[in-house]
Structure 1
Amino acid sequence: MIEITNLSFGYSKKRMLFKDLNLQLQRGHIYGLLGKNGAGKSTLLKNIAGLVLPKAGFCKVNGQRSAQRVPSFLQELFFIPEDLYLPQVSAAQFVKGTGHFYPRFDEKQFYQMLSDFEVDVHSALSKLSFGQQKKVLIAFGLATNTSLLIMDEPTNGLDIPSKIQFRKVIAAALTEERCIIISTHQVRDLDSLIDTLLVLDQQQIMLNKSLDDILEKIQFVSASQTENLEPLYQEAQTMGINSIIATEGEGYGKVDMELLFNAIISKNSSVLTLLK
């Protein structure tokens, strides 16, 4: 689906965001992309979408080079950026002017999601609040039914009920023929939604593993559960001290993505070695 080979990119020659980065992503998955501020998450997504051009290496989507942005490539990809600039038109006018670029666009599906999100379909899109605009673009992106959907910080500006609805519509939209990538700082917004975790740090992909594969190697437990065990990594969180330990036998529980992310960017060698 997505093949990134020896990708190097930087906005200036003095500071490269990526150097010889390699990554492969498959259909049928919802990927969660995590990274520190400035790590290059948005830039990586833009390279995949062909919105910026690599200094070296290449990115392919469905066998086509992203940088060439040919029509057959564009009609199978929808990108929802963090910052939105919607035109001063109604939802119906937006559909009429844009929907036809996507062969599998489903207008009924679009309006149903706007209803679920409680968006006023009669107002000019530019006059809506930031959160409402975000809902419109999420609904439109899902309704395009492209094989690749990329979302950069999609839950920014959404209230709690809308975040719950967001998780529902994303989970329902995944098929074996579709790949969804979500970049976020709001780790808990992805809870129970993504199936594969990507961590970008120090110009490289430090982790690319399914949550099931992660739980086969490590577990996430509270301090009270680590008696007679040596934690691989631990830190104080709101509810107490949480730890990562090596899995003995079959993995179970759930992945604490925030704890795991902190362990990876702190260069915890024990965790990184187990997850290689």
Structure 2
Amino acid sequence: MSTFQNTTSSSIIFLLTGVPGLEAFHTWISIPFCFLYITTLSGNSLILFAIVTQPSLHEPMYYFLSMLSTTDLSLSISTPVTMLGIFWFNVREISFNACLSQMFFIKLFTVMESSVLLAMAFGRFVAISNPLRYATILTDSRIAQIGVAIVIRGTLRLTPVVALLKRLSFCHSHVLHHSYCFHPDVMKLSCTETRISNAVGLTALITTAGVESIFIIFSYFLIIKTVLSIASPEERKKAFSTCISHIEAVAVFYILLISLSFVHRFGKQSPPYVHILIANAYLLIPPCAEPYHL
């Protein structure tokens, strides 16, 4: 463990951590991580290739799916370099600027994924409530505008969160407790006041994933209400079946997000490896599982 005097961010080298207490098994632990990473790359790449090359898939539902696959690919690329670097080569050092960049992109793609899941829920509602106007409501230009809005919104929400970290000073331990740069983990090492950073970070989380989860639930309330108004049981079953895969993808994403939040805030007595494994699962499992649900 390295010890420093009050140090400005520009000269800091952080030390990432693998899985505490399981260092002897890092090579074995890397195998499922590597499998998930390869599965994510192959699954999402095949989806994008199919949508781009098949004109029959140039429809709103598949455009939203291509957004989700692009976000999943981007999120999965943001973390394996540091994870596998630790597990395979024990490369733990990361500069502050590199840490900041990784943190920003992890947060950005996570927020974008939540936004795309909301857009897909809206698309499901339009398809069920106004099937004849589905293509006219969700035109190509409107879907493109939604995609641009998702990127801009996420960037504007998260830039202040990451920028505030540049103003912090760090002292004593520079050892992070995860295998990637986790925002609360970095703030714990600061020897300056972090209340503003905490407040801005919490606000960004609530106004993005928090609000979007509420709107997703509301969308499904409207979907259920619309489906129940359909007279034919067969049509009800068909309408509900189109939503199952999306519900599964939403459940995987938010269950792991909530689990990570609960463990971080209330599981302080849990073994360190529990925090690490849940944090890694949160970034690796949704991008891997969602293409096969959808």
Task: Give the TM-score normalised by the residue count of structure 2.
Answer: 0.24
Of structures 1 and 2, the larger Rg is shown by: 2
TM-score scaled by length of structure 1: 0.25
* Between structures 1 and 2, the one with greater strand share: 1
Between 1 and 2, higher relative CO (CA 8 Å, sep ≥ 6) is seen in 2
More helix by share: 2
